[in-house]
Amino acid sequence: MKKALLSVAAVLLLTPMVMTAQPVQAASWHSGAPKAIRGKYQAKKHSSAQGFGDIYQITAHTYTYGASGMPGFQATKLRYKKLSAHTWRLQGKVKANPSVHFSKIDEKIYRKGKKFAATDYGTKFSKLSWATKVSAFH
């Protein structure tokens, strides 16, 4: 009988401690770009009219994108959040430019091995968004 009363008392005493534990924020924002996605990446050309495939260059503090025949941009003040094992959400600010009419980026980035993909957050990766890691742009 004493053992039963002691176990009930222990459960009653420990229950408030368990219930007041704070939840952990697994997907918190971090400044800069994650080490796993830093580097130079280039996609294949998809037509003969294209001079070069899309290029991406990611450093600790900048995200640069360029496409043949299109104005490129560079984003700074980066922050990221890990979404899954090989996927991140990257946000940054773009400097004012006469040919670029937006001031922020919000990208979803996938990287595993040499495979890399980037697209606007909220959309699916397409065939055109895949690139591979390179040492120099061609």
Q: What whole-number distance in Å separates Cα of residue 20 and Cα of residue 37?
A: 37
What's the pLDDT at 56?
94
The whole-number pLDDT of residue 101 equals 77
Average pLDDT over residues 90-104: 86
Sign of the four-CA dihedral 42, 100, 75, 84? negative
Q: d(Cα 125, Cα 43) in Å, to the nearest integer?
A: 13
Query: pLDDT category, 96, cuts 50, 70, 90?
Result: confident
Yes or no: say if 102 and 91 are a contact pair by the CB < 8 Å rule: no
Residue for token digits 């959400």?
89
Please tell me the predicted confidence (pLDDT) of residue 69: 79
Q: How far apart are CA 29 and CA 39, in angstroms?
A: 21
Write down the pLDDT at residue 52: 87
Res 79 pLDDT > 70: yes
d(CA 48, CA 62): 30
Q: How much is the pTM?
A: 0.75
- Condensed to tens digits (0 to 9), the pLDDT of residues 11-68 reads 556 555 545 555 555 569 999 999 999 999 999 887 777 788 889 999 999 999 988 8
